[in-house]
Amino acid sequence: MILKNASILAIDDDPDVLTAVRLLLKTEAADIVTEKNPENMRSILAKRTFDLILLDMNFNSSINTGNEGLFWLRKIKEFGSTAAVIMITAYGDIDLAVRSLKEGAADFVVKPWHNERLITTIKEALKRNDPKKAGQQGASDSVIGSELLGESEVMRDIFFKVEKIAPTDANILILGENGTGKDLIAKAIHQHSLRAEKPYVKVDVGALTETLFESELFGHKKGAFTDAREDRMGRFETGNGGTLFLDEIGNISLHQQAKLLSVLQNRMVTRLGANQPVPIDIRLICATNVPLTELANENRFRKDLIYRINTVEIMVPPLRKREDDIILLARHFDKIYTNKYMKPLHDFDARAVEKLKSYHFPGNVRELQYTIERAVIMAEGDVLQAKDLIFSPIESAPAQADEPQELKLSTIEKNAILKVIEKHNGNISKAAKELGLTRTALYRRLSKYDI
């Protein structure tokens, strides 16, 4: 963490000190928040996170024992903040400041300070507290703590599984609905693994045609096909020594499955147009939104390949089964988008919280993310209200059985095409595959129905 990207909270009951800190840091840091009353710290830290906190050692409070700074330092830790804490102290309280270091403070500065010295102290504390600099474990925590979030029991169970299985080389199958964060779990497994310093390669195999599947995964020699103008390394070779994440594995054909199984059994790949196999060493993680019971149908998926890719499986729950995480995630996305669109961080009023908790989120975490982004853009003021939360019409409920339905074949076909294209976010290749059409045939229908 560098100072220009840092968010800093300064707490001191002296307004002159807060003014001095704000003037000094407003051009140095990304954000500086000041507060006179430490009693307000809990509500401030509940709404947002900070990279560093400047905390006075003495307040005119009811504690009044000379240990106020130590008291509030302990409270910061109890509140769950991971911010680095720098104590601000008078010369006569240096002994207390030294004690604060033993209790978890990053450093201390003595009033009156030299501006250059304070900035240097802040920079050093941020650098020491940067998870990217804290070794492999810190890097692993950065994904789970900053992108993959959850306090619910089901998510704690997933974090426990990640911790247990990541250091092994076991192949992992991640199951779950679209938008639940399967790719983040795959990344977390890689970051916690012994291969964390090696490549992490992701491939959406469900979007690859037969020819592209082999070329993309196994590579090709120059001249192997019309557009092969040079030798190209495939994803297996690119990820050699690291982790290969194959997303949407449940959508590949039986022919593609046979090719993949051969590579996994032999641990060798042969580029298209070549005869010489190349040994590969990868840790395989796969993901699919297809339920395991459907995947086990041999008309759809080879059982021998399921066993090969599924040493351990992780089931990612839909958001509707993670009610305890909804507001946590909503605040996380609010922070991201208020920063992106340069708007004030929002609080959520009671009706907005209730609306979020009572909604079923068919689009899962991805739908929540887009809902909060829209709300941040459209909301006025620093409080998000229920009216600001507009859920996606893409995920609207199907028509009720007693509603009249259009039975004209052309209309049914048009509606089916629209539904599948929406499902795959406009990806024509995926839509054509699900509809049982070629891309050319689908394009003809798009033109016919003026879609």
Report the Cα 22 to chain-centroid distance in Å.
32
Rounded to whole angstroms, the Cα distance separating 428 from 443 reads: 8
Residue 356 has pLDDT above 80, yes or no: yes
CATH code of domain 3-129: 3.40.50.2300
Placement of tokens 């399921």 in the chain? 306
Rounded to whole angstroms, the Cα distance separating 442 from 369 reads: 31
Rounded to whole angstroms, the Cα distance separating 364 from 322 reads: 10
User: Stretch 172-198: mean pLDDT, rounded?
Assistant: 93
Query: Among 103-107, 303-307, 365-369, 392-396, which stretch is predicted with the lowest mean pLDDT?
Result: 392-396
Which of these CATH numbers, 1.10.287.1770, 1.10.8.60, 1.20.1270.360, 1.10.8.190, describes 322-391?
Answer: 1.10.8.60
Rounded to whole angstroms, the Cα distance separating 3 from 251 reads: 46
Give domain limits for the chain.
3-129, 138-315, 322-391, 409-448
Please report the sign of the dihedral spanned by the C-alpha atoms of residue 353, residue 355, residue 359, residue 361: negative
Percent of the chain at pLDDT above 70?
Answer: 90
Rounded to whole angstroms, the Cα distance separating 70 from 58 reads: 9
User: Stretch 136-141: mean pLDDT, rounded?
Assistant: 42
pLDDT in tens, 294-327: 888 888 899 999 999 999 999 999 999 999 999 9
Rounded to whole angstroms, the Cα distance separating 258 from 303 reads: 11
- 138-315 and 409-448 agree in CATH topology: no
Residue 424 has pLDDT above 80, yes or no: no
User: 368-385 b/e with 16+ CB inside 10 Å = b?
Assistant: bbbbbbbbbeebeeeebb
Report how far apart, in Å, the C-alpha atoms of 225 and of each of 48, 113, 311 are: 54, 70, 36
Q: Which residues is 32 bridged to in the sheet?
A: 8
pLDDT category of residue 385 using cuts at 50, 70 and 90 = very high
pLDDT category of residue 446 using cuts at 50, 70 and 90 = confident
Is there a contact between 77 and 45 (Cβ–Cβ < 8 Å)?
no
pLDDT category of residue 25 using cuts at 50, 70 and 90 = very high
Domain 409-448 in this protein, CATH class: mainly alpha
Confidence (pLDDT) at 412: 80
Output Rg (C-alpha) for the chain, integer angstroms: 27
pTM metric for this prediction: 0.58
Q: What is the 3-state secondary structure (H, E, C) of the chain?
A: CCHHHCEEEEECCCHHHHHHHHHHHCCCCCEEEEECCHHHHHHHHHHCCCCEEEEECCCCCCCCCCCHHHHHHHHHHHCCCCCEEEEEECHHHHHHHHHHHHCCCCEEEECCCCHHHHHHHHHHHHHHHCHHHCHHHHHHHHHHHHCCCCCCHHHHHHHHHHHHHCCCCCCEEEECCCCCCHHHHHHHHHHHCCCCCCCEEEEEHHHCCHHHHHHHHHEECCCCCCCCCCCEECHHHHCCCCEEEEECHHHCCHHHHHHHHHHHHHCEECCECCCCCEECCCEEEEEECCCHHHHCCCCCCCHHHHHHHCCEEEECCCHHHCHHHHHHHHHHHHHHHHHHCCCCCCEECHHHHHHHHHCCCCCHHHHHHHHHHHHHHHCCCCEECHHHCCCCHHHCCCCCCCCCCCCCHHHHHHHHHHHHHHHCCCCHHHHHHHHCCCHHHHHHHHHHCCC
pLDDT category of residue 136 using cuts at 50, 70 and 90 = very low
Confidence (pLDDT) at 407: 54
Which of these CATH numbers, 3.40.250.10, 3.30.70.60, 3.30.70.260, 3.40.50.300, describes 138-315?
Answer: 3.40.50.300
Confidence (pLDDT) at 1: 65
Confidence (pLDDT) at 185: 95
